[in-house]
Chain A
Amino acid sequence: MMKSFMQPEHTLELVCPAGSLPALKVAVDNGADCVYLGFRDDTNARNFTGLNFDASTAQKGVEYAHSKGTRVFLALNTYPRAAGWERWKKAIDQAADLGMDAVILADPGLMQYAMKAHPRLHLHLSVQASATNYEAINFYHEHFGIRRAVLPRVLSFAQVEELSGGTPVELELFGFGGLCVMAEGRCSLSSYVTGESPNNCGVCSPPKAVRWQQTPGGLESRLNGVLIDRYADEENAGYPTLCKGRFEVGGETYYAMEEPTSLNTLELLPELLRIKVRGLKIEGRQRSPAYVAQVTRVWREAIDQCMKDPPGFKVKAAWSAELGKISEGQQHTLGAYHRPWK
């Protein structure tokens, strides 16, 4: 019994987003154990204008991170169609050449290519692969030797714990940032409205489809013509991610799918440590370096405190306040980890 009160042997790694070289540097400087980044095209799930890395900045990023002992993962987590196959394949080759510490993949065909062409390259299973149970994770482990799986944000904490007992694969969980209410990799809402989906194009509710218009009824946000929300003067308008708009069901207008809210699992840290979750992932490659610095700093401090003394861990009000300032919609939720959310 005493053992659980001792310092844990297990390490929970802080995995931070890097949408640019400056963001990568501040993540490293503020204590990220790992950073993840994508190339500047549709091979990754944050394919936004002005974001991501070309070969030269990726090399600088890897050098900088490695010089400070931080590992670098490449997100290559969209599903290539036949026409794009060579580009995705080349991205895997580049990751190996650049000395990336792992590639995060969703497509089985790509996993097989990576395993055969670069047997020493570590493979992580992307959240986009929708692996929500250990049978699925073990499938990827047995066929492609994946070492880590990032879990979709749909499982309750009890389900995560149950899952962790059924697989030898390391688990990485989303801890903070944007919240997908739908199972990742199983959502085509964006392509239904705009023609571009996370699975194929690496985007959800893409900015080029967004229109804002001031009307007598309020400020309207539209996505390819579809009214996502309308804001009264005193309301804060949010980005029209289509699952976070207000719609009418049975005569009631409300956030029918999800409020504009952020995931924040600070209070779950001791539990995550107890069930030996390996990676704590911060969402937000599309966010600014200032955001990344702030979030990384708070989470570094929180994880360090928790690892020192798990039973004594308490969420500091200052952490929550700082994270609250920068969250989407300025609201926090434990998401699906907390069963009643469902």
Chain B
Amino acid sequence: MKLALGPNLYYWPRERLQAFYQEIAATPVDIVYLGETVCSRRHVMRLSDWLEVAKMLAAAGKEVVLSTLTLIESESDLKSMRRITENGELTVEANDMGAVHRLEGRVPFIAGPYLNIYNPQTLELIASYGARRWVMPVEMSLQSLQPLQQSRPAGMETEVFSYGRLPLAFSSRCFNARFHNLPKDDCRFLCINEPDGKTMRTREGKPFLVINGTQTQSALVHNLIGDLDSLHDAGVDVVRISPQSEHSAAIIRLFRDSIAQRVSRENALQQIESLLPEAGCNGYWHGQPGMEQAFHASAVQHE
């Protein structure tokens, strides 16, 4: 299985992003997704800056993909989306059907996790438009994935979001701006001060969700490092890790070692514990509520 680093979902200062990808270039990750997928107002990186980073990563042997925005609302959002789909160099991850519309029949593309591909018929269609890889919706289970794998169009790769806080919802409202009592149009880009988002707790203090601008994430960290056997057996080609402000390189290495069976699943689970910003969960993969932590197949066998 190949390892991918998903697009960074947070808003980090430019220098921090550049340093981050320098560090990533030295990790055993195969694919790196770049670009702003959450908020069109975030602007520290222009397309030319992303292309610079892409060049550096490609020189380090990485496959680089440019991701589009997910919620495309205005004419200016459409313009930025077209600049990405027509970049002429890099493969594009389409996160909205509008982007698919621009890419179809022209160049092969990646169908992102927000296109809502839930059944073999839709996967077949997306393949016919030129998708060569698709990213499963985060809420899909192993059991629901299996029929799509069995009838998978020729040459189609399957990628699964396997580590990170789950991107659960998108809104046109900015919840950071709301927290600061600011209108979105005058948000002052305060999300730049929250490198891993801002935790939302229940009234009894339990970490529940994370505010990341217009995106709402899980507070718990979706972690399938203990489920790599079932990912492998299901014929998953690419395992996606979502960036976080600390430890991303270590997490990539741990996944790599675990896939290569240089560390045991149990050992990997133990080691990753200290790298999680919050407790883990894996319910979605097991057909349960996403926030739950299911027993791993190996753990069940031991009982």
Chain A contacts to B: CB under 8 angstroms: 79-83, 85, 106-110, 112-113, 129-136, 138-140, 142-143, 154-156, 159, 162, 181-183, 185-189, 191-195, 197, 199-200, 224, 226-230, 243, 246-250, 252-253, 256-258, 336, 339-342
Given contacts A159-B73, A226-B208, A247-B208, A81 and B289 within 8 Å (CB-CB): no
Contact B119 A85, beta carbon cutoff 8 Å: yes
Given contacts A136-B97, A192-B218, A181 and B118 within 8 Å (CB-CB): no
A–B pairs, 7, beta carbons within 8 Å: A81-B118, A129-B116, A139-B97, A142-B101, A155-B73, A187-B169, A200-B118
From residue B146, how far is it (CB to closest CB) to chain A in Å? 8
The complex places the Cα of A54 from the Cα of B177 at a distance, in Å, of 45
Closest Cβ neighbor of B96 among chain A residues: A136
Closest Cβ neighbor of B210 among chain A residues: A249
Contact A342 B184, beta carbon cutoff 8 Å: yes
From residue B202, how far is it (CB to closest CB) to chain A in Å? 4
Closest Cβ neighbor of B185 among chain A residues: A339
Residues of B within 8 A of A85 (CB): 119-121
Known contacts A80-B119, A162-B74; 15 further A-B pairs (Cβ under 8 A)? A85-B119, A107-B119, A109-B124, A112-B121, A136-B97, A139-B97, A142-B101, A143-B125, A183-B169, A191-B289, A200-B118, A247-B200, A252-B179, A253-B203, A257-B175
The complex places the Cα of A278 from the Cα of B175 at a distance, in Å, of 32
Please report which residues of chain B, range 66-96, place their CB below 8 angstroms from some CB of chain A when the two chains form the complex. Answer: 70-75, 77-78, 81, 96
Contact B120 A82, beta carbon cutoff 8 Å: yes
The complex places the Cα of A258 from the Cα of B122 at a distance, in Å, of 33
Contact A246 B216, beta carbon cutoff 8 Å: no
Residues of A within 8 A of B288 (CB): 195
From residue B157, how far is it (CB to closest CB) to chain A in Å? 19
Residues of B within 8 A of A129 (CB): 97, 116
Contact B144 A135, beta carbon cutoff 8 Å: no
Chain B, residues 211-238, CB within 8 Å of chain A (1/0): the string is: 1000010100000000000000000000
Residues of B within 8 A of A155 (CB): 73, 172
Closest Cβ neighbor of B104 among chain A residues: A139
The complex places the Cα of A156 from the Cα of B183 at a distance, in Å, of 13
Interchain pairs with CB closer than 8 A, number: 215
Q: Which of A142, A159, A192, A248 contacts B289 (CB 8 A)?
A: A192
Contact A186 B122, beta carbon cutoff 8 Å: no
The complex places the Cα of A132 from the Cα of B138 at a distance, in Å, of 21
Contact B203 A186, beta carbon cutoff 8 Å: no
Chain B contacts to A: CB under 8 angstroms: 70-75, 77-78, 81, 96-102, 104, 114, 116, 118-122, 124-126, 137-140, 144, 147-148, 166, 168-175, 177-179, 183-185, 198-206, 208-209, 211, 216, 218, 283-284, 287-291
Residues of A within 8 A of B77 (CB): 133
Contact A248 B200, beta carbon cutoff 8 Å: yes
Contact A133 B72, beta carbon cutoff 8 Å: yes
Given contacts A108-B125, A138-B101, A189-B216, A132 and B72 within 8 Å (CB-CB): yes
From residue A100, how far is it (CB to closest CB) to chain B in Å? 21
Closest Cβ neighbor of A194 among chain B residues: B289
Closest Cβ neighbor of A79 among chain B residues: B118
Residues of A within 8 A of B202 (CB): 226-228, 247-248
Contact A135 B171, beta carbon cutoff 8 Å: no
Q: Which of A142, A197, A243, A342 contacts B139 (CB 8 A)?
A: A197
Q: Which of A82, A162, A250 contacts B75 (CB 8 A)?
A: A162
From residue B68, how far is it (CB to closest CB) to chain A in Å? 11
Residues of A within 8 A of B73 (CB): 132-133, 154-156, 159
Q: Which of B102, B206, B287, B290 contacts A135 (CB 8 A)?
A: B102
Identify the 10 closest CB pairs spanning chains A and B, nearest first: A109-B121, A135-B98, A82-B147, A109-B122, A154-B172, A139-B101, A192-B290, A136-B98, A187-B169, A342-B184
Residues of B within 8 A of A107 (CB): 116, 118-119, 122
From residue A54, how far is it (CB to closest CB) to chain B in Å? 24
Q: Which of B70, B116, B289 contacts A106 (CB 8 A)?
A: B116
Residues of A within 8 A of B170 (CB): 182-183, 186-187
The complex places the Cα of A162 from the Cα of B99 at a distance, in Å, of 18
Closest Cβ neighbor of B97 among chain A residues: A136
Q: Which of A133, A159, A162, A252 contacts B98 (CB 8 A)?
A: A133
The complex places the Cα of A193 from the Cα of B166 at a distance, in Å, of 12
Residues of A within 8 A of B174 (CB): 342
From residue B279, how far is it (CB to closest CB) to chain A in Å? 14
Contact B203 A113, beta carbon cutoff 8 Å: no
The complex places the Cα of A257 from the Cα of B211 at a distance, in Å, of 9
Residues of A within 8 A of B173 (CB): 154, 181, 257-258, 336, 341-342
The complex places the Cα of A185 from the Cα of B116 at a distance, in Å, of 8
Closest Cβ neighbor of A339 among chain B residues: B185
Residues of B within 8 A of A253 (CB): 203
Residues of B within 8 A of A113 (CB): 121
Residues of B within 8 A of A229 (CB): 203
Q: Which of B101, B203, B216 contacts A227 (CB 8 A)?
A: B203
Residues of A within 8 A of B171 (CB): 154, 181-183, 257
Given contacts A81-B118, A107-B116, A186-B170, A193 and B198 within 8 Å (CB-CB): no
Contact A139 B100, beta carbon cutoff 8 Å: yes
Contact B183 A188, beta carbon cutoff 8 Å: no
